[in-house]
Structure 1
């Protein structure tokens, strides 16, 4: 795998700086109440890939294949469980993004990581990797058995109050969600996405009374 360019080689756009500064020092408890204990869970990495186009900043989400054993059909960030060959959890996130959507690691500038979070359903210790897509290129589903589709979601649509809801799962879980691009983004992915929008200063007031199931 090509080593991603170091941060010092690429100048971040102005809109990136508040997020980079806040993310570098955020406490995991400001993102979720589910934090791993020492040695708990298998390490995993997810890639929060932020790019920009004529519509402003955007983020890449995938929709998992409906045939998967875990989280079937759910929107998620590219990523997965660490392999023994991975040099770091950053390498895990980049490798998985390459395998899932054909992302060229050399097109990515890794900015920082968020604290480890615990995905209790699968017992994974997840590190979100924040990255600037400084050289966007065409991406596509590599393995339909893992990924059904890819969405490039404009931040301006994600923060639109009309697209913000809370989701109630049959298990009793209630949390933030997004109704966007024909998808319902909820659970762990929505929680992390909400935190990123808040840290960046992009979040707009929305009505948390709107509940979907």
Structure 2
């Protein structure tokens, strides 16, 4: 949970008109996220979260959900050149290799709260100038059982975030500002599942040119499209096994844990 001093750093009025539906309803993203989670998986998430609460397990973490684009739109809706900042982890990593994610990670002891964590981690991973960014809202904390993280997505905006790039090639393979329209395009959407014993638990994913966005990140993006009113009807019957889907972008799956 953000402290009062951290919440004072939020500037929701800095959001352009096209982003306001999402900013004004950021509280609804977690609810939309949970609607897309299969009932069996939701039960596992709830049980794991309850266990972590009792045992004191889990670590605080935050991710930066950065939208960029012009402050004005001729149509009043989403501009064609609006984009979302995404990274892909290095394929050589032992855990979460080749997975797409928002920049972010675990809180450090000196962090003032999730906003500080998200901005610090984004700067470390992508070299972004955080002075160009305007934090707009924090979404509700979400628990990721495999990694044990309690994650707060921090929604932010910049009309021009400046250059971004891979800072450490041993950690990150790609940093990209992906057009939001690529996520909206029904042709890029599918459902992905990973075999967990005999269970087949599928969630929304996005198959793009250089990455497969799935797991926690895919769920959050799907929920944001729903909440913002940007989602278009897509074929939820297109269900692929994770290894098959990852092979389409040239990656093998080495670790099924959800990556931040």
TM over 0.5: yes
- Contact in 2 for aligned 1:109/1:133 (Cα 8 Å): yes
The TM-score with structure 2 as length reference comes to: 0.75
Q: Give matches, 1:108-123, under 5 Å.
A: 108-123=133-148
Q: Report what 1:15 is aligned to.
A: 18
Give CA deviations for 1:183-211 in whole Å, capped at 9, x if unaligned: 11111110011011111110001010011
Structure 1 residue 208 corresponds to structure 2 residue 236: yes
Q: Report what 2:62 is aligned to.
A: 45
CA distance in 1, matches of 2:220, 2:83: 15
CA distance in 2, matches of 1:7, 1:118: 23
What secondary structure, in the 3-state scheme, does the structure 2 residue paired with 1:31 have? helix
1:75 to 78, 94, 100: 100
Structure 1 residue 186 corresponds to structure 2 residue 189: no
Q: Report what 1:61 is aligned to.
A: 86
CA distance in 1, matches of 2:181, 2:151: 26
The TM-score with structure 1 as length reference comes to: 0.90
Give CA deviations for 1:89-147 in whole Å, capped at 9, x if unaligned: 11001000000000111111001011111111111101111000233201111111111
CA distance in 2, matches of 1:31, 1:210: 19
What is the aligned residue count? Answer: 209
Q: Report what 1:30 is aligned to.
A: 32
What secondary structure, in the 3-state scheme, does the structure 2 residue paired with 1:209 have? coil
Gap regions ≥5 residues in structure 1: none
CA separation of 1:168 and 1:51: change in aligned 2, threshold 3 A:
same
CA separation of 1:9 and 1:120: change in aligned 2, threshold 3 A:
closer
RMSD: 2.1
Q: Give matches, 1:98-177, under 5 Å.
A: 98-171=123-196, 172-177=200-205
- Contact in 1 for aligned 2:11/2:135 (Cα 8 Å): no
- Contact in 2 for aligned 1:40/1:125 (Cα 8 Å): no
Gap regions ≥5 residues in structure 2: 1-5, 35-41, 71-78, 242-260
Deviation of the 1:9 alpha carbon: 9.2
CA distance in 2, matches of 1:50, 1:8: 14
| The structure with more strand, counted as a fraction of residues | 1
CA distance in 1, matches of 2:11, 2:208: 34
